[in-house]
Homo-oligomer: A and B are copies of this chain.
């Protein structure tokens, strides 16, 4: 009883610090006509994939860096890059290379002074505790609080996009894989 309540208190604290106007601002980079790429390592990578899957459901042309059918990135594409510390080497390098190639970068991180924040065109700060010590303190292991709150934040962003685009739950269900 108390453990779940304690965890929920942590999550509420962090979500209370997420600035919804940063989501509104990031939305201006995201639409159905641009290719969207996502990247993240470890558990942030699973959240990145969860976000990408839902973007596909609402009709976006989205790819996960490192998956089978992901094509080369080109000027005009958008990269959503996730790292709690903002310093995970593979994620930062991908964002820096993408920036040079002419992509817009949406950085999602706990640390606004990090290299990943530095390269951002649009910045979404989710101040959950990470394994490097940034963010709101937590009783949970490693970057767990960051993972949880990025999950919720990107689901909020998806909901905002679907409303702007007038995409219904039925539309999303139609795109959802039907053999699993």
Q: Answer whether A140 and B152 are a contact pair too, CB < 8 Å, given A8-B15, A20-B4, A178-B72.
A: no
A7 an interface residue at 8 Å Cβ cutoff? yes
Q: Are A97 and B179 in contact (CB under 8 A)?
A: yes
* A76 contacts B by Cβ under 8 Å: no
Q: Is the interface of A mostly helix, strand, loop or mixed?
A: helix
Chain A interface, number of residues (Cβ within 8 angstroms) = 70
A68 touches B49 (CB 8 A): yes
The oligomer's copy count stands at 4
- Structural contact, B56 and A156, CB atoms closer than 8 A: no
Complex interface: chain B residues within 8 A of A166 (CB)? none
Cβ–Cβ contact B11 & A177, under 8 A: no
Complex-state Cα separation, A12 to B175, whole angstroms? 29
**Cβ 8 A contact of A7, one of B49, B68, B152:** B152
User: In the complex, which residue of chain B has the Cβ closest to the Cβ of A36?
Assistant: B69
**Are A71 and B56 within 8 A (Cβ)?**
yes
A-B contact pairs, 7 of them (CB 8 A): A4-B156, A11-B11, A54-B144, A72-B174, A73-B177, A101-B179, A151-B151
